[in-house]
Structure 1
Amino acid sequence: MATKHLLIAAALVGAVSVLLGAFGAHGLKSVLTEAQLGSWRTAVHYHQLHALLALALCLRLLADPARRLRLAVYSLLAGIALFSGSLYGLALGAPAWFGPVTPIGGLLLMIGWLCVVAYALRLPAPER
Structure 2
Amino acid sequence: MPLDFWTTACIYGATSVAAGAFGAHGLRARGIPDAKIASWSTAAQYQLVHSAALLAVEAASPGKNLLYAKSFLLAGMTLFSGSIYLLVLDPQRFKFLGPVTPIGGLALIAGWGALAVGSRGRTLLK
Report the TM-score when normalising by structure 1.
Answer: 0.85
Match of 2:96 in 1: 97
Classify the secondary structure of the residue corresponding to 2:17.
helix
The sequence identity of aligned pairs, in percent, is: 40
Deviations 1:86-120 (A, max 9, x none): 11111112332111000110111001100111023
CA distance in 2, matches of 1:120, 1:81: 24
* 1:55 Cα offset (Å): 0.8
- Cα RMSD (Å) of the superposition? 2.0
CA distance in 2, matches of 1:82, 1:74: 12
Match of 2:56 in 1: 56
Q: Which runs of 5+ in 1 are unaligned?
A: none
Match of 1:74 in 2: 71
Classify the secondary structure of the residue corresponding to 1:29.
helix
Classify the secondary structure of the residue corresponding to 2:90.
coil
Structure with greater proportional helix content: 1
Q: Which amino acid aligns with 1:80?
A: M
Structure 1 stretches of 4+ moved >4 Å: none
Report the TM-score when normalising by structure 2.
Answer: 0.87
CA distance in 2, matches of 1:123, 1:38: 38
* 1:2 Cα offset (Å): 4.3
Q: Does the 8 Å CA contact 1:7/1:55 hold for their aligned counterparts?
A: yes
Match of 2:42 in 1: 42
